[in-house]
Amino acid sequence: MHAFTHPPLLRRTLLGLAVATALGASQAPAGEVEVLHWWTSGGEARAANVLKELMEAEGHGWQDFAVAGGGGETAMTVLKSRAMSGNPPSAAQIKGPEIQEWGELGLLGNLDDVAEQGGWNALLPETVADVMRHDGQYVAVPVNVHRVNWLWANPAVLEAAGVEMPTSLDELFAAGEAIREAGYVPLAHGGQAWQDATVFESVLLATGGVDFYRQALVELDPEALGGDEMVEALTTFKRLRELMDDDMSGRDWNIATSMVIEGDAAMQLMGDWAKGEFTAAGLTAGEDYLCAAAPGTGEAFTYNIDSLAMFRVTDEAEHEAQQTLARLVLEPTFQEAFNLAKGSIPARPDLDMGAFDQCAQQSLADFQRTAEAGGLVPSMAHGMAVRADVQGAIFDVVTNYFNARDMEAEEAARRMVNTAQAAL
Ligand code: GAL
């Protein structure tokens, strides 16, 4: 048949096919996903970029909706206003019990098809899978497992002060004194509510132990919240101010990490997204920086699982793009590249960890060990333990007490009880 005898429609279709083949596009229509997250520090942005590139390689568009602010409080506020105006993004970093809140509003899309094709049920630990389902259906996909109870340190500064990595709170206070005398800031900290809460929960875990942590910060048991152990946790937490510097108010967490990197400060109590900053600075774990469980918490693991929830959409191409995003997130390529940059460990435990550093290896080993021994607990400070309103109220008590000149620990403990009662 002569080429010019093709009817116009067929010609257009053939042309379309040729273009699609030339671009290497998949069968699915190219869609765009708008993804809300708060991964804006150096390490975090590198990690987020992995997903953007993988999506673009599949022919889909990525619209970055990054809202700065560690811990994600601002991002969640922005998300709520977008959702209220009937225009949520296609995907958002939503975590823990908050996934259920969005699910209850009926706003989340269903990922069961992707989950079935990818065998998520067999792939994911039940602790992880459980958080991703609403009403028995997958509505979110986990990107990683962060550990919150970590201590990071600059070995050169420790050496200059003649101290070792502390393993108990007593050792931490003693080391802090020596570090201060040697002319360094012992503990880098950023005075923001979520960072105060991050440090507080690690201290409470050390002074009270795993069972107390669970009773107080997961079950919101009034006796635990208002009792002597809480008073001890609060008092010890406030004592940590001795190890911090005067300029900490409002400081971002990654700036605090850079104080450790630069050798101005010795240590930081922070989740392993801090490792993303050390990595982005080209530093090697075990040599240029050290990691250890937060002092006194070696038998515990406070987990923080980042996840992307998908909003219900009507556009077919956007739906396709969402399904692709969900699929890619659990594939080995993404899990390895993203988590190497982010500082976390993969959400799927079957991956070869050969490329990961010793802190990540320890994290995985401790995750598995504590899961068996009963020391694996959800992080309150990172939205894994209680609903967002309760978490916010606990943040207020913790941060007000930490910054108040004259509030007694007993008074803060009483406020904890009131907070929890209002929530029940
Ligand atoms: C956490 C989040 C991490 C990291 C951190 C600092 O809540 O899970 O991925 O971004 O905040 O922003």
Domain 2-146+305-342: homologous superfamily in CATH? Periplasmic binding protein-like II (3.40.190.10)
pLDDT digits (tens, 9 = 90+) for 388-400: 999 999 999 999 9
286: left (phi over 0), alpha (psi -120 to 50) or beta: left
Q: Ligand 1 center to residue 70 CA distance, Å?
A: 6
pLDDT at 368 over 50: yes
Mean pLDDT, range 177-186, rounded to an integer: 98
Q: Establish whether residue 96 lines the binding site of ligand 1, counting it when its CB lies within 6 angstroms of any ligand atom.
A: no
Pick the residue whose CA is nearest to atom 6 on ligand 1: 70
In the chain, CATH 3.40.190.10 sits at: 2-146+305-342, 147-303+373-423
In this prediction, residue 12 carries a pLDDT of 45
Query: Of 343, 344, 347, which Cα lies nearest the Cα of 326?
Result: 347
Has this prediction a pTM greater than 0.85?
Answer: yes
In this prediction, residue 6 carries a pLDDT of 42
Q: Ligand 1 center to residue 13 CA distance, Å?
A: 46
Q: Establish whether residue 98 lines the binding site of ligand 1, counting it when its CB lies within 6 angstroms of any ligand atom.
A: no
In this prediction, residue 422 carries a pLDDT of 79
In this prediction, residue 13 carries a pLDDT of 45
Whole-angstrom distance, CA of residue 321 vs CA of residue 419? 41
Query: Of 280, 338, 345, which Cα lies nearest the Cα of 42?
Result: 280
Q: Which residues 6+ apart lie within 8 Å of 263 measured at CB?
A: 154, 156, 157, 184
Q: Establish whether residue 150 lines the binding site of ligand 1, counting it when its CB lies within 6 angstroms of any ligand atom.
A: no
Pick the residue whose CA is nearest to atom 12 on ligand 1: 70
Mean pLDDT, range 81-94, rounded to an integer: 97
Whole-angstrom distance, CA of residue 410 vs CA of residue 113? 52
Whole-angstrom distance, CA of residue 375 vs CA of residue 369? 8
Whole-angstrom distance, CA of residue 319 vs CA of residue 175? 54
Mean pLDDT, range 355-369, rounded to an integer: 97
Least trusted range by pLDDT, from 61-65, 85-89, 326-330, 418-422: 418-422
Pick the residue whose CA is nearest to atom 5 on ligand 1: 71
Pick the residue whose CA is nearest to atom 11 on ligand 1: 71
pLDDT at 187 over 70: yes
Atom of ligand 1 nearest to the CA of 70: 12
| Average pLDDT of the chain, as a whole number | 94
In this prediction, residue 22 carries a pLDDT of 46
pLDDT at 2 over 70: no
pLDDT digits (tens, 9 = 90+) for 243-284: 999 999 999 999 999 999 999 999 999 999 999 999 999 999
Atom of ligand 1 nearest to the CA of 95: 8
Atom of ligand 1 nearest to the CA of 44: 10
Query: Of 288, 329, 334, which Cα lies nearest the Cα of 307?
Result: 329
Residue with tokens 């919150």: 148
The residues facing 269 across adjacent strands are 151
Q: Establish whether residue 338 lines the binding site of ligand 1, counting it when its CB lies within 6 angstroms of any ligand atom.
A: no
Mean pLDDT, range 111-126, rounded to an integer: 96
Atom of ligand 1 nearest to the CA of 383: 7
Q: 423, 389 in Cβ contact below 8 A?
A: yes
In this prediction, residue 271 carries a pLDDT of 98
pLDDT digits (tens, 9 = 90+) for 6-64: 444 444 444 444 444 444 444 556 899 999 999 999 999 999 999 999 999 999 999 99
In this prediction, residue 423 carries a pLDDT of 73
Backbone φ, ψ for residue 13 (5° rounding): -65, -45
The residues facing 205 across adjacent strands are none
Choices 3.40.630.10, 3.40.50.1100, 3.40.190.10, 3.40.50.1370: CATH for 147-303+373-423: 3.40.190.10
In this prediction, residue 17 carries a pLDDT of 45
The helix/strand/coil state of 52 is helix
Whole-angstrom distance, CA of residue 73 vs CA of residue 67? 9
Whole-angstrom distance, CA of residue 191 vs CA of residue 144? 26
Q: Establish whether residue 39 lines the binding site of ligand 1, counting it when its CB lies within 6 angstroms of any ligand atom.
A: yes
Residue with tokens 């022919």: 59
